[in-house]
Amino acid sequence: QVQLVESGGGSVQAGGSLRLSCAAWGYTYSSYCMGWFRQAPGKEREGVAGFDSDGSTTYADSVKGRFTISKDNAKNTLYLQMNSLKPEDTAIYYCAAVKIPSSIYDVSFWLRFGYWGQGTQVTVSS
């Protein structure tokens, strides 16, 4: 059974940094696409950053240049380094995975994720 557990959320002031981690169990980590999503109050969940089957990365326009997704296959852990945080980054951040081979160039890439962590809260104050 696939299990994803996020950590590293918290409260920071605008301009600060946080690093989220996602520990994964129950599957061959390297064979899955992995990603980070977020959901702010009153808004739909959106894809933030992701790896596809080839290891290529994609980012939401709103976080490009500020967020970096990375992974350590040996540790089965996914990371999201978030710099220059803004109040609009405030949300619950979710780690997600999908086993179906997928490409970041597929328009349905963000819709394919089917395994989810419980989420971790990130709050950025102005």
In residues, how long is the chain?
126
Please give the Cα distance from 50 to 44 (Å, whole number).
17
- Tens digits of per-residue pLDDT, 34-89? 999 999 999 999 999 999 989 999 999 999 999 999 999 889 999 999 999 999 99
CA 51 vs CA 5, 8, 72, 91: distances in Å: 17, 20, 12, 21
Q: How confident is the model at residue 30 (pLDDT cuts 50, 70, 90)?
A: low
Q: Residue-wise over 94-120: b if at least 16 C-beta within 10 A, else e?
A: bbbbbeeebebeeeebbebbebebebb
Strands 46-51 and 67-72: unpaired
